[in-house]
Structure formats: C-alpha cells, structure tokens
Structure 1
C-alpha cells in the first residue's frame, strides 16, 4: 500500500526521530512510504487563533500538496482531527469543497491506520518497561481513537500497561491555550504527571507529541522522573 507522510511542524522541528520511527514501522507493515518535501503546516494554529482567512490559505496549499488517492498518515491525532473535522467547514460551498471532503476521508492518525486500515496490531516490538497511556483530547474526541493505541501496546513484548486515573482528562496543553492560560495549563499538566507517577510507570506514552512535550516539561520541572515517548518510538523498539 502506498502511503503519503504528513509530518507536523513541531515533530519536524523538535522530534524528527518520531517521524523516522513511524516510517520504520509502516515499512515493516508492508507500506511504500513517500514524503512530499513541499508540505508545510496543516493550518490548525491559525484556525484555532481565529485567523480563518490565513488558515484557509495554508489549508489550501496543504490540499494541493496531498492530492491523489493515497492514504495520508501522520503521528498526530491533533492535526488529523483538524483536517477531518474542520477542512469541510472552511471550504464549504467553494470550488475546493470536494477536495476537502476527499482528503478528510484519506487522512489517518498512525495507530488508527495500523489497526483499522492495515489490520496490524503486532509489529514485533520489544520494550521492557512499565508504561501508562495518555488519551489526547484530539485522538479521543476528534478522531474517536481509544482502543487502537492500547491494542498495539498490548502486543509489545515486555511492556506492562498500567492505566492512570482521570485518563480522559486534558493534559492542559491545548496549543495556544497553554500560552493564553499558562497557570491553568501548568496545573492541569501537573495533575496529569501526578496521576501517571502514581501508577508506578516509568514512561507515559501517547499519540501526540504536543501533549507529550507539555507533560514532559511539567515532569522535568517537578523532577518526577517520569519519561515520555510517542507510540511510534515504542513500536519501533527492539527490532
């Protein structure tokens, strides 16, 4: 199966290893992976900040960069959730309306694609550690992803998955929310760290590096010892 990669801005700039590990797993699962170097942002930051006109320009370019019939796979439920749920709204009653609808059906978050499109839940990974999982708001509420990451983690040799309290509660990042409402954001992040530490897990895993970046910052500030990893990093381990 041919797959086009979409690598979000912050993954490209700050966590490129996540992208490479996703490629590693997809190729092992039998995919032929391509990457369009012209790609830029999906447009979500501008949209969420209220700049819908500017967002529409960025989203229009994004659709041109991902034309065709291939699946578009990203290591971010946040970006995919935006494409699926808001591109149709942005381009409603425009010449690009059908293009937006088409892309929204082809765009998948990494774990959703593995389990529900490829039918793969065991990639032969080994990760000897206690792990807890964080449901990102975008994965849970915008992409309806709940069991897929857990199903994948359950097949990783040596991994013990321990659920944390209030697992569906936001970590406090929320993009521009963390900037506009910093004290609230930090308090929510601290609560997430406390709940994760209480499980006895060494690592907190999620589908979204945006959440993990925020949680990792709170964890280091508290010197909790909790480490964060993207799901792709875990699935690419041990082989």
Structure 2
C-alpha cells in the first residue's frame, strides 16, 4: 500500500488556502474553453473568500483574492480577471524597512507619551487650560508609576519628575493632591478559574438549599391519606 505524504507532493504555494484549492486552480489552467475557465475561476474566488473571511476587512479584498489566484497558478492561469494580472517581479518586491524609534526616554516607566504631552502643554499660553493639562499629565504620570512600581508613590515625586521633564516650565503646587491610584493586579487564568469554580459551587449550594426547603409532594400526599 502506497502512502501519499506531503513531503512527496508538489509545493504548497499559499498554505492558507489549502491543497484542494491549489488542485482546483491547476485543473482550471488545464481547461481549454475560456468561458469554462472563467466560470470555475469565479467559483474558486468565492471559495477562497469563504476560507479566509478576515480578508473582507482588507481594502479591495476581491483584488487581493484575484492576485492570490494568479500566484497559486504560478501566474499561468488565463482568465478574464477584473483586475490587472500581477507579475512575479511585483511579488518579489520587499516593503521598506520601518525604522525603530531611537529617541531616548528619560523615565521609561512614564513612556514617550508623557514627554509628548509635556511638550504640548508647554506650547499652551492660556493659563487655565495650561493648568488643567498639567494636572491631567501629573495624574497620568502617577498612574503609570504605580503600574510600573506596584506601590504607592508620593505626590512630591511626581511633581519633581514633572519639573525635570519640562525643564522647570511646568509646575504644580506642592500642596496639590493628585488622583488616588492603587495597583490592581489582573487575575491569572488559574485564579480566575478558581473564582468561577467557587461561584459555581455557591450556586449549587443555593440550589440544594432551595430544594431542601421545598416540601415533598409525596409526604404531603401521604398526610392527606
């Protein structure tokens, strides 16, 4: 008995569509009638969209499916596609490298966002709006600090760091009270399941108590007789 292994089969060009779709495309390429090829190609396009519904969230997802059809056929399929036929050279083009930001962050636990907000606040000339922005930035800094340090932080520390990050241009009163922030760890999968298990046990206990408190029909019927 001869077994058919994937290692002995033809190379799977686009694995997300599977080998059956690739075999269908190969069958279409071998059809002689052009109208028949067009009908089968349209059916395969619908199947490809069904197998990968996430492509519907991509702009011009139909265009993407037709491009994939040509790629699966090794650019040999001859059909009347509604979009220009792609070329192997286009598929070989690599996207431009996206450089990682090399900006130095003074206090990493506050993040780059705080530095951007501070620069925005420094550009505000209206005193009332500027004071509100500074207050909001300080509250955000305290929340970020607690999430990083998992402990309470004195308001004086936040005020000091705010002055250092803004080069002394943004200041808060020393007697100001920032928003109270507490670190609340998220339950892990095991502890969350234990909590749910405890809730289920409590619910079962309540149901059992309710059943025990209900009078028995058989006992009532016996007392009547």
TM-score normalised to structure 2 length: 0.19
**1 or 2 for the larger relative contact order (CA 8 Å, sep ≥6)?**
1
Which one has the largest radius of gyration? 2
TM-score normalised to structure 1 length: 0.18
Q: Which structure shows the bigger proportion of residues in helix conformation?
A: 2
